[in-house]
Amino acid sequence: MEVREGLYYTKEHEWIKVEGSTGIVGITDYAQEELGDIAYIDLPETGKEVKKNEKICDIESVKAVSEIYSPVSGKIIEVNSELEDSPEKINESPYDTWIVKIEIRNEKEIENLMDKKKYEEYLNTL
């Protein structure tokens, strides 16, 4: 199972890549493995305001429906519309397939997320 350097992670298995004031959000390799084959993702509207740990959208697999949560507070400025027709891209390459881009409102929230080492340690407790 892959965990990438340079990303921040949540206990709910979302990752965020910070580029300036934009956060690019997806789900981890662990999350996509647990879900199994992803069949559908209910993408949110652009412009939607979200708070840290608030549900962004649902993702459906052959096993279950799971919720995706926002790692930070901000405004959704872009959604990956390719996932409407090809949600399986998340299974194929979870760290290269983003779900939403968020304009980060409070950069201090990033300090509470896990880096690669802390996330790996967290995975070892599961």
Structural domains of the chain in order of their starting residue, each with its CATH number: 8-123 (2.40.50.100)
Task: List 101's β-bridge partners, or say none.
Answer: 24, 78
Conformation bin of residue 20: beta by default, left when phi > 0, alpha when psi is -120 to 50: left
Please state the pTM of the whole predicted model.
Answer: 0.96
Confidence of residue 6 (pLDDT cuts 50, 70, 90): very high
Averaged pLDDT of the chain: 97
- Taking only the tens place, the pLDDT of each residue in 36-55 is 999 999 999 999 999 999 99
- Taking only the tens place, the pLDDT of each residue in 79-110 is 999 999 999 999 999 999 999 999 999 999 99
Confidence of residue 33 (pLDDT cuts 50, 70, 90): very high
Phi, psi of 46 (to 5 degrees): -70, 150
pLDDT at residue 72, as a whole number: 98
